[in-house]
Amino acid sequence: MTQLPSRPDGVAVAEGRLVAWIPGRLKNPLNGSQGVSRAGRIWRTTERREWRSRTMLVVRDAMNRSRWRYSPLHGAVVVLTAYVWNRFDEDGLAAALKPVVDGLVDATLIDGDGPSSGHRFERRQEINRRHRGVEVVVEPRFEEAPR
């Protein structure tokens, strides 16, 4: 595996891939009692909004610093690696990473997150209790023209 040349600000570009680090503690919005009361719903909404805006800001900064020229992408490979305290189940990981994907759309890195966008999302997780957050790696897929 090739080592990506990284910079101290968490941005790296190598072989056409954009790598960005979004710090924070992921939480599964589908678990817990925080959804029972009105205060719980407000907390959940605020948490998702913060992840979405933090992702947008970090990714736009990464795109500017790296002089990213491929946006908005259609049909990209997006790898989201969550560094968490404990492992999530598959549904919980997808729900926890949903605001991050929405932030990528807000940053105009990708053109959408629906099936018609042609993106392939890979969600991974690793236990790291000291360094929690999400690493985003986006690689454009350039389709060959028909001959």
Per-residue confidence band for 14, with pLDDT thresholds at 50, 70 and 90: low
**55-113 pLDDT, tens digit each:** 999 999 999 988 888 778 988 999 999 999 999 999 999 999 999 999 999 999 999 99
Burial of 71-92, coded b for 16+ CB within 10 Å and e otherwise, reads bebeebebbbbbbbeeebeeeb
